[in-house]
Amino acid sequence: MTSSPSSPIVPHGVLYTMIRVANLDRSIEFYRDALGMSELRRETFPDARFTLVFMGYAAHPNGATVELTWNWDSDSYTHGSGYGHVALAVSDIYGACARLAEMGVEILREAGPMKAAPQETGEREEIAFIADPDGYRIELIGHSE
């Protein structure tokens, strides 16, 4: 039995990506100040000893967010080999990277065109990679609004 994409039993949107963070204040500061996100929602669970902070773009309050999960009793995590990255659109990728570097953000790959182009379009995107305070990779993609 197959369901149509409009069926109520088929997922229809991305809500958030969850990452565990070692220092909640430091992570909020990074996602707010370096990446321009706002704290959209916070949920604290004292009995379970964790806090969730949902960071996103105020202009798109119903868009996908990043859930920062802070487990009160853990101060470090390993990422494993399965995690990839979060991708964010930016109008001026070169200016964004210069600004982030001035803020001390670790630039993992300088802004520039991808080495390969997709067969379908033949167009190479301009990308960069940075790291958040916990070492999670974030891809910046040149994208005009």
pLDDT digits 0-9 by tens, 70-107:
999 998 888 887 888 999 999 999 999 999 999 999 99
Give me the residue label for tokens 């229809």. Answer: 12
What are the domain boundaries of the chain? 1-77, 81-145
For 36-81, how does the pLDDT look when each residue is reduced to its tens digit (9 = 90+)? 999 999 999 999 999 999 999 988 878 899 999 999 999 888 888 7
Catalytic-labelled residue, pool 123, 126, 139, 145: 139
Q: Which two tokens stand for residue 38?
A: 């706002």
Please check if 12 is assigned to a binding site.
no
The per-residue pLDDT of the chain, averaged, comes to 90
CATH architecture of 81-145: Roll (3.10)
Was 106 annotated as part of a binding site? no
Question: Is 106 tagged catalytic?
Answer: no
Strand order through the sheet with 16-20: 16-20, 65-71, 50-56, 38-45
139 is in an annotated binding site: yes
Q: Which CATH number fits domain 1-77: 3.40.50.720, 3.20.20.70, 3.10.180.10, 3.30.420.40?
A: 3.10.180.10
Specify the pTM: 0.85
Parallel, antiparallel or unpaired: strands 65-71 and 50-56: antiparallel
